[in-house]
């Protein structure tokens, strides 16, 4: 029963995250005006705004102009349900769950604005850093949180300088935000996972001829996914790498 309430809550949040992902990079208000079709500007009614259901019912098209709606809307809603439910199943009714949901929501926004527009908005990451520091006493402690932000963003600044712009300002602030939630240890694991995954992705694109050596790979989605996995499964990841021996001594 509680799980069903969480699913409905996550669907509504996912629907709101879609609005944020579309509007923030375009510098539009997320609260006003109400949702409208990007193609025909028609205002959408409650029947058009049911998460997942409306998309499937309308065959992924606008009811009014029949223009295709980006599958990203459906993807974000489903992803929000899965991630919110996993956080809830792990932590139950607790501060950790609330913290995890905030972390998940912000990472979802940064991953998809980077995918869609190549932007990781300061308007999301900078307040995110403040939120991470404010919530840190309930998680990893203020010291670990602040160190995480400084060290992770510092490493990313170094990479940006050494690679002559291979990493953008958006990635650096995103790393700072992630550091406030994962601490510096978790940040290092996040960076390793994101780099390996991003490297494999770049190699696939090169191999398929869809990229050349100067093509910039969007790093935000890799950082976001890696950070979420580390926040949720850091212990399991460490054990799978180093084995149980790390914890028996």
Interface stretch with Zn ion, choices 59-67, 74-82, 163-171, 195-203 (CB under 5 A): 59-67
Backbone angles phi, psi at 36, to 5 degrees: -140, 160
CB of 67: closest distance to Zn ion in angstroms?
A: 5
Write the binding mask 123 to 142 for Zn ion: x where contact by CB under 5 A, - elsewhere.
Answer: --------------------
**What SS3 state is found at 68?**
strand
Element (H, E) at 19: helix 2-23
State the nearest-atom distance from the C-beta of 76 to Zn ion, in Å: 19
Stretch that binds Zn ion, among 55-63, 96-104, 189-197, 232-240 (CB under 5 A): 55-63
Task: For the CB of residue 74, give the shortest distance to Zn ion in the complex, in Å.
Answer: 16
Contacts of Zn ion in 14-43 (CB under 5 A): 37, 39-40
Shortest Å distance, C-beta 69 to Zn ion: 8
Using the contact rule CB under 5 A, the part of the chain among 7-15, 57-65, 77-85, 170-178 near Zn ion is 57-65
Angle between helices 169-207 and 95-117 (to 10 degrees): 60
Residue closer to Zn ion (CB basis): 10 or 69:
69
Q: Shortest CA distance to 86 belongs to which of 103, 69, 65?
A: 103
- Measured CA to CA, the distance from residue 171 to residue 218 in angstroms comes to 9
Complex with Zn ion: residue 37 or 86, whichever CB lies closer: 37
Do 77 and 201 meet the contact criterion of CB atoms below 8 Å apart?
no
For residue 114, how far is the Cα from the chain centroid?
A: 10
List binders of Zn ion among 61-90 (CB under 5 A).
62, 64-65, 67
For the CB of residue 60, give the shortest distance to Zn ion in the complex, in Å. 12
Q: Kindly tell me which of 47 and 243 has the beta carbon lying closer to Zn ion.
A: 47
| Terminal alpha carbon distance of the chain | 42
Q: Is 47 exposed, middle or buried (0-12, 13-18, 19+ CB in 10 A)?
A: exposed
Q: What is the size of the binding site for Zn ion (CB under 5 A)?
A: 7
With H, G, I as helix, E, B as strand and everything else as coil, classify residue 56: helix
Instruction: Give the interface with Zn ion as residue ranges (CB under 5 A).
Output: 37, 39-40, 62, 64-65, 67
């Amino acid at each position: 029963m509680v799980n069903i309430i969480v699913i409905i809550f996550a669907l509504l949040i996912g629907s709101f995250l879609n609005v944020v992902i579309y509007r923030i990079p375009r510098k539009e208000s997320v609260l006003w005006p109400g949702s409208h079709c990007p193609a025909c500007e028609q205002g959408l009614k409650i029947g058009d705004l049911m998460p997942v259901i409306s998309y499937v019912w309308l065959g992924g098209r606008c009811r009014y102009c029949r223009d295709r709606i980006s599958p990203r809307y459906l993807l974000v809603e489903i992803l929000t349900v899965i991630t919110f439910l996993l956080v809830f199943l792990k932590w139950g009714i607790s501060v950790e769950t609330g913290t995890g949901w905030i972390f998940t929501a912000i990472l979802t926004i940064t991953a998809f604005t980077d995918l869609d527009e190549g932007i990781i908005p300061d308007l999301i990451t900078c307040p995110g850093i403040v939120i991470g520091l404010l919530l840190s006493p309930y998680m990893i402690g203020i010291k670990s949180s602040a160190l995480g932000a400084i060290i992770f963003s510092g490493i990313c600044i170094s990479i940006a300088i050494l690679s002559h712009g291979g990493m953008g300002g958006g990635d650096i602030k995103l790393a700072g935000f992630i550091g406030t939630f994962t601490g510096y240890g978790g940040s290092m694991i996040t960076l390793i996972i994101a780099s390996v995954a991003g490297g494999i992705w770049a190699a696939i694109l090169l191999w398929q001829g869809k990229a050349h050596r100067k093509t910039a790979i969007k790093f935000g989605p890799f950082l976001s996914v890696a950070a979420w996995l580390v926040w949720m499964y850091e212990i399991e990841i460490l054990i799978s790498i180093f084995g149980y021996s790390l914890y028996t001594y």
